[in-house]
Structure 1
């Protein structure tokens, strides 16, 4: 890692020795120079990053702090003091909900969230082959096997990691298709046999949480979706909140919000269509007028 000036190797704060010394002199002049600070905040932050799926190698790339330095910080006792710039660099990287949101394309991250999203789309009617094409791979691709939960490792284990680039692609696909049921009854049957939750049964913030579980709804794809939307609309008209409606219908607030949006879209589309009843009345009124109107003589004049 080089200093922004391009003339030397970066040290503290990503600066070369010359610019770091200049920075240090300025901070001393302003009375803000505090070269050593307790390591507690950095330790807690690194642990939170680990829990989010960002390992120390990835964190080292994000912060510019060498991985051996991070390891020493984590291994030392509670009274450890570290450079203030190290603390600033580590704490500047926020803890993400998903490791793939901050890591490089080639970094390996947990496959859990991507697998849940992929399986939910299959359960809602999207064949794995169609989803594979959307991701730019074939149905027999090893990644698709892993997302389906099949044993893909050479030693017969189910893969637990996926590239961050592929994880982001699966999330984007899920975000685009989750509210529209797929066309395949066979895929829905497969999802039902395997017990895969539908997209609506997952809370958005729970998909990447290993300890989270779906909220199993009483509803299934198809006609029941329309019935549920009608009930959501009726309860909304009565002034109930999303959480109250979710409790009554055995679903979650996120799905209630989706149903409200879909119902509003249909209501607006219906309002733009001609009133068929009014058209029929107007047509019936016009019939006698057409009957009494003389029919023009279409015979050719000689």
Structure 2
């Protein structure tokens, strides 16, 4: 095993003395340290200690100029936060290990990872909708390499990071179009709750415009489509006009669909029936939601995902129909 494939594992977060503790992360880090030392000794590049000045200057540039925190640096370098704080504060005067020096210098100068917080309303709705669809916390978190405990923690927060919101949104787009395998999760999500007398709303109850809106209510589909989608106009529009709008949505022009597939028309210029046909054809070709949204100039992939869920345009069903 060479140095390119034998990468440094993260240090144990619970024990500073990795050589004395007995947990698996400590043993893994200790074994890597011994292998790295043998490789460096054989190559004649082994250095036990290095001066601390260069690493201390680098840490202060990261924190004072670029806005990093010691915790972010420690997580990026795979070090203990106490070591980073001691080196930056000048409390290590006799030198530091060469591997520690290399880890610190490996953190690039520049802005830190995004830690901006956003409201968690939309994230909570996505998770609940997927549970109503038959997906468990572990299934959802597995889409981005996390565990169910991570989502349980997210469900108790009022804010989440932009990165976490993006991961859960990607999992939502991937799983919302296919029913989940867990009947238990589906039954628990459908059970009445104090704030949800009809259970948690599923993916079809939300649109990309409403899922992040705290004032929005789920659309359970109890009323006709024209009334549900045009509720703000219901008081001013006559019944006949609403019926005309509803009929217009289901008019179909094959030429319009072909023009949309060629990029001549946008999704806004199509009726509902024409959008269904265009999206169905693109799904049949194996196009992803983001690609379909770009082709039809339909905003983001979440809009296409919600449209496919609403009209039951599932990849497996489209493939069977073809």
Please tell me the TM-score bracket, short chain as reference. Answer: 0.3 to 0.5
TM-score (norm 1): 0.36
* Greater Rg over alpha carbons, structure: 1
TM-score (norm 2): 0.34
